[in-house]
Amino acid sequence: MAWPWRRLAATAGAVRIEALAERLGWSRRHLVRRFRERTAPSLKPAAQLFRFERATALLRATALLRGRTPAPPLAAVTAEAG
């Protein structure tokens, strides 16, 4: 399950679970079951965590670049983070 985890991390959770399963030659259901057996979070929550981390990184980067000016709208950040 290292490869699906690395793909989720590399894409900040933006890769579709179906695409991961297809690449492995497995069904979505089989991949989800195998992933859940071997890791703490299942695929969907893991992808959500990566997207959340991406969003917080975007907010931090924007805050550093802008100094004291207001952060971008949260809707724009969440759209960019997926």
What is the per-residue pLDDT for 23?
95
What is the per-residue pLDDT for 67?
64
Distance in angstroms (rounded) separating the CA atoms of residues 70 and 50 = 24
pLDDT in tens, 29-48: 999 889 888 876 778 888 88
What is the per-residue pLDDT for 26?
95
pTM for the whole structure:
0.57
Asked if 17 contacts 50 with a C-beta cutoff of 8 angstroms, the reply is no
Walking along the chain (82 residues) 10 residues at a time, the average pLDDT comes out as: 88 90 94 84 82 84 65 74 74
Distance in angstroms (rounded) separating the CA atoms of residues 20 and 26 = 9
